[in-house]
Amino acid sequence: MTEQFALGKENGKIEVMFTSKQIESRIKEMAEVISKDYRHKNPLLIAVLKGAVIFLSDLIRYMKEPVEIDFIAVSSYGASTKSSGVVRILKDLDQSVQGKDIIIVEDIVDTGLTMKYLVENIGSRRPDSLKVVTLLDKPDRRKVEFKPDYCGFTIPDRFVVGYGLDFNEKYRQLSDLCILNN
Ligand code: IMP
Ligand code: MG
């Protein structure tokens, strides 16, 4: 824990929203539900880089059905593309999703623009089924209608870091999910 104080806990810049223990027990519950829904299936879980990496790696270790994993990276839209919701793929999947049961794994749904784009994009590649699991949802910030199929925690409109989520690439390694105060 000592090193983590150097990352902002010492001056109150960050405060804990969910402890690693709370996250772990919620992820166990989610994995149980998802495993039931995908019984006798072999879903391909697609994590959105980079924020969802830690969530993916914890989630699959509690899943009972055999799973496969892949990764996709998208650009965050700049100011000019914010309203249009144009998202660019920076790293595409290594494999075809055709005929597969796909679960997109996201860290947080905010405006909904990224997930709306990815569901349309991956959905057009003819998977057998397509669902979205997100650790966090900030519905107050939505710009387009989007409802994740599975959600860990619904949170208020606060900027959060840790457990894979970053601010300018910092704080991803915190094991708790923290609110970043400015
Ligand atoms: P969108 O606005 O729903 O398209 O979300 C885009 C991305 O913004 C998410 O996948 C996150 O990577 C990032 N993001 C949104 N809110 C937060 C936050 O509170 N902390 C860290 N990253 C965030
Ligand atoms: Mg993300």
- Among 108, 111, 143, the mutation site with the greatest number of ligand 1 atoms within 8 A of its Cβ is 108
Q: Is the CB of 111 under 6 A from ligand 1?
A: yes
pLDDT of residue 12: 80
Q: Cβ of 43: how many Cβ atoms within 10 Å?
A: 24
Ligand 1 nearest-atom number relative to CA 138:
16
Instruction: Tell me the β-bridge partners of 71.
Output: 47
**What spacing in Å lies between the alpha carbon of 39 and ligand 1's midpoint?**
31
Residues taking part in catalysis = 110
pLDDT of residue 5: 66
Which residue has the CA at smallest separation from atom 15 of ligand 1?
110
How far apart, in whole angstroms, are the C-alpha atoms of residue 178 and residue 16? 4
Ligand 1 nearest-atom number relative to CA 85:
4
pLDDT of residue 80: 58
Ligand 1 nearest-atom number relative to CA 107:
10
Q: Which two tokens stand for residue 158?
A: 């606060």
pLDDT of residue 93: 98
Q: Cβ of 60: how many Cβ atoms within 10 Å?
A: 18
pLDDT of residue 51: 97
Q: Is the CB of 137 under 6 A from ligand 1?
A: no
Q: Is the CB of 110 under 6 A from ligand 1?
A: yes
How far apart, in whole angstroms, are the C-alpha atoms of residue 54 and residue 172? 9
Predicted TM-score (pTM) of the model is 0.94
Domain 20-153 has CATH 3.40.50.2020: yes
Q: Which residues of the chain have pLDDT under 50?
A: none
How far apart, in whole angstroms, are the C-alpha atoms of residue 176 and residue 163? 6
Q: Cβ of 120: how many Cβ atoms within 10 Å?
A: 11
Q: Is the CB of 165 under 6 A from ligand 1?
A: yes
Query: Considering only CA atoms, which of 111, 123, 103 is closest in space to residue 52?
Result: 103
pLDDT of residue 136: 98
Q: Is the CB of 114 under 6 A from ligand 1?
A: yes
